[in-house]
Amino acid sequence: MTRIVVFPGQGSQTVGMGAELFRAFPQEVAFADAILGYSLEELCLKDPQQRLHKTEFTQPALFVVNALAYLQAVEREGSRPDFALGHSLGEYNALFAAGAFDFITGLRLVQRRGQLMGRADGGTMAAVVGLSPARIEDCLREVAPGEVDIASFNSPEQTVISGAAGAFERLESALESAGARQVVRLRVSAAFHSRYMRAAESEFATFLSQFEFSPLDFPVVSNVHAMPYAEQGLHECLAGQISRPVRWTESIQWLARQPMPVFEELGASKFLTPLIQSTLRRSADA
């Protein structure tokens, strides 16, 4: 059996997440509060100022909840997984799990990432259901050339697009005419994983250069390459991940070829589990 842990990213946050974890790991929560300058438990459990869905708050909150869920799983299982991967922000949890950096360093990284990504505005994103990525790319070229990119290949049935808000109304009509069952706008403040994030990527690359990372204890599959991280590739991939698409479907397909793969989602929700199941079903039918 090949044990694979996966971590969700932005969009999986919910008010109330982490309640049992905060009680189980008070020292880590205290460290997080000191670094962030606010009560993470109050943000996640009550969100009195309506900030949990703002990127600069969402990303640190999810990192901490996902990280504590992993620590709890290790305590429960008594062993580490064989592979890890995470969706966008969740990739930081996969790297934390594999020992690339400690909890505090990981939190500092995602805090800065969330600040830079949260500063961008003016774009939007949508999930397209029931249309192949190739046909979606055709529509982007025909209707919104240079305005909208594919942000995430989530499963054979779901692809996320990202770009200029002004292009989406005409693009939605084109996608539906091409056969999309649904085009669902996402509640985001900017066009993540698109060309519009390159300034944030550049600034984050400079920030990343201050850090040295440890060799991984087990392989982590990269969003950028859909393959395990190369020994020297962490800085480049983590910076490039901000503007490049998440190759989730290919990552799951690669892992599905391992001996008797078993996927376990850890963190704020089971956001990724249906996507993984969809990809595995399609691969089995192929």
Domain boundary pick from 135, 159, 185: 185
Q: What angle do CA 114, 64, 241 make, to 5 degrees?
A: 40
Q: Cβ of 134: how many Cβ atoms within 10 Å?
A: 8
- The pLDDT value given to residue 285: 65
Distance CA 130, CA 157 (A): 5
Catalytic residues: 88, 193
Residues 115 and 202 in one domain: yes
Q: In terms of domains, do 239 and 172 share one?
A: no
Q: Which of 132, 162, 185 is the endpoint of a domain?
A: 185
Domain identity same for 20 and 110: yes
**What pLDDT does 286 receive?**
57
Q: How many domains does the chain have?
A: 2
| Model pLDDT, residue 14 | 94
What is the pLDDT, as a whole number, of residue 161?
Answer: 98
**pLDDT for the residue 188:** 82
Residue 45 sits in which domain range?
2-120+195-285
Judgement on whether residues 165 and 261 belong to the same structural domain of the protein: no
Looking at residue 204, which CATH number applies to its domain? Answer: 3.40.366.10
Q: What angle do CA 19, 186, 83 make, to 5 degrees?
A: 60
- The radius of gyration of the chain from alpha carbons, rounded to an integer in Å, stands at 18
From the centroid of its chain, how far is CA 4? 16
Helix (H, G, I), strand (E, B) or coil at 253: helix
Overall pTM > 0.75: yes
* Integer CA distances (angstroms), 82 to 75, 79, 94, 263, in order: 16, 10, 11, 11
* pLDDT profile of the chain (286 residues), mean per 10: 96 94 97 97 97 95 98 93 97 98 98 94 92 96 95 97 93 95 90 95 97 97 96 91 97 97 93 95 73
Domain edge (last residue) among 151, 167, 185: 185
190 located within any domain = no
DSSP letter assigned to residue 280: H
Residues 174, 115, single domain; the answer is no
90 with 171, same domain: the answer is no
Bridge partners of residue 221, in order along the sequence: 228
Per-residue pLDDT, 282: 82
Question: Are 259 and 278 within one domain?
Answer: yes
Q: Beta strands 261-265 and 2-7: pairing type?
A: parallel
CB 212 within 8 A of CB 100: no
